[in-house]
Structure 1
Amino acid sequence: MLDFMGLMKQAQAMQAKMAEMQAELDQVVVEGEAGGGLVKVTMTAKGALQRVAIDPSLLKPEDSDIIEDLVVTAHAQARAKADEAVAEKMKAVTGGLQLPPGMKLPF
């Protein structure tokens, strides 16, 4: 028979670590860039956009479509970095336990 109480304690400890990790992710800041650094996006690992920086050389009305595409690309890069930061934090919290694809904690 499994040690049910021990299993419950482990689950509670993991839940506490998850809450701590969520708070830490608000403090993790990542940056994405596009166009060789002409457009930069800064955001938290939880996805909160903090800053968009556009090099003044791009600010020409006829280039607005390009600027919009570069902002989207920079944001996508920052989001990918945020996802990596979350995955690293999750690995530390779960002790390397691999969750099935698509399954996220907390449930």
Structure 2
Amino acid sequence: MDMQAILQQAQQMQQQLMAAQQELDEAKLQGTSGGGLVTVTMNGRGQVEDITIDPGAVDPGDASDTAQTIADLVLAAIRDAERMVEELQQQKMGPLAQGMGGGIPGLPGF
């Protein structure tokens, strides 16, 4: 077992992990609903950064129904954005998790 090689491999994995996390922080993903009436922007870690509601979603004649409709559209847009975040996280972090699962020779659990 070559400890120098193991340490070097661990350092490379750490650098790759940090780069992937930075990419997730900087990513901007948009989920939509209602044909674009509601847009939710999230970063790659799943934090909501912005919600946009098109004025066309508002029916001034029926405030109660409009409020419920907008709430439903916002929820649907959040779910759409969350799906995109999950896909991006798998894309960026999945290979790293597989690399760890493949193991570092000689170290159990790595």
Superimposed CA distance per residue, residues 3-44 of structure 1 (whole angstroms, 9 cap, x where no aligned partner): 343122211210111012111211111000011111110111
Measured on the aligned residues, the alpha-carbon RMSD in Å equals 2.0
* 1:45–1:79 CA contact under 8 A, matched in 2: no
Q: What's the TM-score, normalizing by structure 1?
A: 0.78
Unaligned runs of 5+ in 1: 100-107
* 2:30–2:39 CA contact under 8 A, matched in 1: yes
1:56 paired to 2:55: yes
Which structure has the greater CA radius of gyration? 2
- Of stretches 25-34 and 52-61 in structure 1, the one that deviates more from structure 2 is 52-61
Partner of 2:92: 89
Query: 2:12, 2:100 → 1: CA distance?
Result: 18
Partner of 1:11: 10
Bigger proportion of residues as helix: 2
Give the secondary structure class of the aligned counterpart of 1:42: strand
Give the secondary structure class of the aligned counterpart of 1:23: helix
Partner of 2:39: 40
Give the secondary structure class of the aligned counterpart of 2:8: helix
Query: 2:43, 2:80 → 1: CA distance?
Result: 13
Superimposed CA distance per residue, residues 31-76 of structure 1 (whole angstroms, 9 cap, x where no aligned partner): 0001111111011111121111111122231311111011011011
Partner of 2:75: 72
1:22 paired to 2:14: no
Q: Alpha-carbon deviation of 1:96?
A: 5.7
Unaligned runs of 5+ in 2: 102-110
Give the secondary structure class of the aligned counterpart of 1:47: coil
Query: 2:33, 2:57 → 1: CA distance?
Result: 12
